[in-house]
Amino acid sequence: MNKPQSASDAKTPEQPTETTNFTKARAKLSFDRMIEHGAKMGMPNPLFHCADRAAKATIHIDGKDYINFSTYDYLDINGHPEITEAVTATAKVYGTSAGASRLVGGERVPHRELEQALCDFLGTEDCIAYVSGHATNVTTLGFLFGPRDLILHDNLAHNSLAQGARLSGATRFSYQHNSCEDLERLLKTKRAEHKNCVIVTEGLFSMDGNIPDIPRLIELKKQYNCMLMVDEAHSLGVLGEHGRGVAEYFNVDPSDVDLWMSTLSKTLCGCGGYIAGRRDVVQFLKYGAPGFVFSVGMPPVIAAACTTALKILRREPERVKRVQHISRYFLEYAQSKGLNTGEAQGYAIVPIITGESFFTGFLSARLFQRGIYVMPISFPAVKEGEGRLRFFLSAAQTEENVRKTIDAVIEEMPEAQKMVDRYRAEHPEG
Ligand SMILES: Cc1ncc(COP(=O)(O)O)c(C=O)c1O
């Protein structure tokens, strides 16, 4: 089979002869800067590495296995034979496409089965599954709220939540990361001026690996007559004894949160997103949210994959214990070696805070050369000076790999610093 054109494009973006507005804008992207800095130091492009099989504890790239810290497959379910079987059987019945928006001809049995399975698991009245996780947040917030409303979201809330808040036209403020005090200050001063208000947070923060104080957020939402939306992209399957997420972790009543959101692309090994909550809200979304009404239904095969993944999660809670154990092990081992893990609490996401973007990029590149695959995160995804290597832990990961990796991080830090110094000396222009 010929190599797809896009694969090579992704590795070495073509330089157009004329500078267009887009190429000018691209020069400002931090990813491009990272590639450029790396290239000047003889490092290959660290992005769009193409693996040729499912990524587990290791990822296979260009004929070599790398210890893998870049998978969302938290419970090591992706590629499970039961899922493959369910997908094959579903494809035989439905093909691979829903064929239309669910509202007008695209509704299929696997959609309903998935939504019902999610309601049963989460303890909610109803659920709507969308075709994309990112679009779930954008369209839900964009549709439910309007110019007379107020959206208060955590400063580190995911891009999709911020985009949805913008789209809604509501007044929007971000409160300091994980600070219920700052949120309350905003509620006191702003709430009364608006009709509806929604507080938006993640269940497990994707950059820091810490958990918000959900019981306090519930108190505040009740006290100030607001709604509460929790994005469980990273907490579903990870928090709580049975992986039921942040509600189980804090033992709160699921009905105290108005909009439970998660992607289907992480623990549930598919693609898409859902909103679970009260029936009236979910039905309103089903008849009105543009990202649902004017978009095709998710492929029935994906719905079947997610339902099967959920079945495996429910049947095998030991997977949840495994991801919790390896995450805790990673955190404690890193801390015992004096590394800065920020506010991570030891659940699936553990950053190692490295500071400057430059340094972080070089460190990640050096680790890749040593057979370790971990992505650097730098400004604007996090504040300048708070660059980090973000480690995603999976139930598939081993203690030996964790020790090897952290020892390598420590050994490579002085080498990465030497690269920064050399870069600065050779490229005083920046
Ligand atoms: C917190 C959060 N919400 C939403 C999304 C979007 O989900 P998806 O990638 O499934 O579109 C992500 C993606 O990583 C995320 O981290």
Of 284, 315, 346, the domain-final residue: 315
- The predicted pLDDT at position 41 comes to 84
**Burial (0-12, 13-18, 19+ Cβ within 10 Å), 413:** middle
Q: Tell me if 2 is assigned to some domain.
A: no
Q: Tell me if 221 is assigned to some domain.
A: yes
- Name the CA dihedral angle for 236, 242, 244, 245, rounded to a multiple of 10 degrees: -60
Verify that 50 and 139 share a domain, yes or no: no
Q: Tell me if 5 is assigned to some domain.
A: no
Does residue 206's CB lie within 6 angstroms of at least one atom of ligand 1?
yes
**In Å, how far from its chain's centre is CA 17?**
36
- The predicted pLDDT at position 23 comes to 66
Q: Tell me if 174 is assigned to some domain.
A: yes
Verify that 95 and 203 share a domain, yes or no: yes
- The predicted pLDDT at position 16 comes to 52
Verify that 249 and 155 share a domain, yes or no: yes
User: How far apart are the C-alpha atoms of 254 and 277, rounded to whole Å?
Assistant: 8
Residue (of 48, 76, 49) closest to 62 by Cα position: 49
Q: For residue 351, is the peptide bond before it cis, meaning its omega torsion is within 30 degrees of 0?
A: no
- The predicted pLDDT at position 31 comes to 74
Which residues lie closer than 8 Å to 253 by C-beta, 6 or more apart?
247
Verify that 167 and 219 share a domain, yes or no: yes
Verify that 118 and 231 share a domain, yes or no: yes
Verify that 175 and 208 share a domain, yes or no: yes
Dihedrals φ, ψ of 20, to 5°?
-95, 170
Does residue 160's CB lie within 6 angstroms of at least one atom of ligand 1?
yes
- The predicted pLDDT at position 27 comes to 52
- Reported as a single tens digit per residue, the pLDDT across 178-232 is 999 999 999 999 999 999 999 999 999 999 999 999 999 999 999 999 999 999 9
Of 296, 315, 334, the domain-final residue: 315
Q: Tell me if 113 is assigned to some domain.
A: yes
- The predicted pLDDT at position 38 comes to 83
Does residue 133's CB lie within 6 angstroms of at least one atom of ligand 1?
yes
- The predicted pLDDT at position 32 comes to 76
Q: Which of 153, 201, 263, 267 to mutate to test the pocket of ligand 1 (most atoms within 8 A of CB)?
A: 263
Of 315, 339, 374, the domain-final residue: 315
Ligand 1 nearest atom to the CA of residue 272, by list position: 10
Ligand 1 nearest atom to the CA of residue 202, by list position: 1
- CATH code at 351? 3.90.1150.10
Verify that 168 and 272 share a domain, yes or no: yes
- Reported as a single tens digit per residue, the pLDDT across 293-331 is 999 999 999 999 999 999 999 999 999 999 999 999 999
Structural domain span for residue 308? 81-315
CA angle 239, 404, 211 (to 5 degrees): 20
- The predicted pLDDT at position 6 comes to 44
Verify that 147 and 290 share a domain, yes or no: yes
Which residue's alpha carbon is at the smallest distance from atom 9 of ligand 1?
133
Type of residue found at 211: I
- Taking only the tens of pLDDT, the chain with its 430 residues reads 344 444 444 455 555 556 667 766 655 566 777 788 888 888 888 889 999 999 999 999 999 999 999 999 999 999 999 999 999 999 999 999 999 999 999 999 999 999 999 999 999 999 999 999 999 999 999 999 999 999 999 999 999 999 999 999 999 999 999 999 999 999 999 999 999 999 999 999 999 999 999 999 999 999 999 999 999 999 999 999 999 999 999 999 999 999 999 999 999 999 999 999 999 999 999 999 999 999 999 999 999 999 999 999 999 999 999 999 999 999 999 999 999 999 999 999 999 999 988 899 999 999 999 999 999 998 777 888 889 999 999 999 999 999 999 999 999 999 999 999 998 899 887 7
Tell how far the Cα of 98 is from the centroid of ligand 1, in angstroms. Answer: 22
Q: Tell me if 349 is assigned to some domain.
A: yes
Q: Tell me if 367 is assigned to some domain.
A: yes
Verify that 59 and 205 share a domain, yes or no: no
* Helix (H), strand (E) counts: the chain: 16, 13
Tell how far the Cα of 412 is from the centroid of ligand 1, in angstroms. Answer: 31
Verify that 161 and 224 share a domain, yes or no: yes
Q: Tell me if 9 is assigned to some domain.
A: no
- CATH code at 202? 3.40.640.10
The continuous run of DSSP H or E covering 88 comes out as helix 81-94
How many independent structural domains does the chain possess?
A: 2
Do 127 and 275 contact (CB within 8 A), yes or no?
Answer: yes
For tokens 């997610």, name the residue: 306
Ligand 1 nearest atom to the CA of residue 265, by list position: 10
Verify that 212 and 111 share a domain, yes or no: yes
Which residue's alpha carbon is at the smallest distance from atom 8 of ligand 1?
133
Verify that 360 and 286 share a domain, yes or no: no
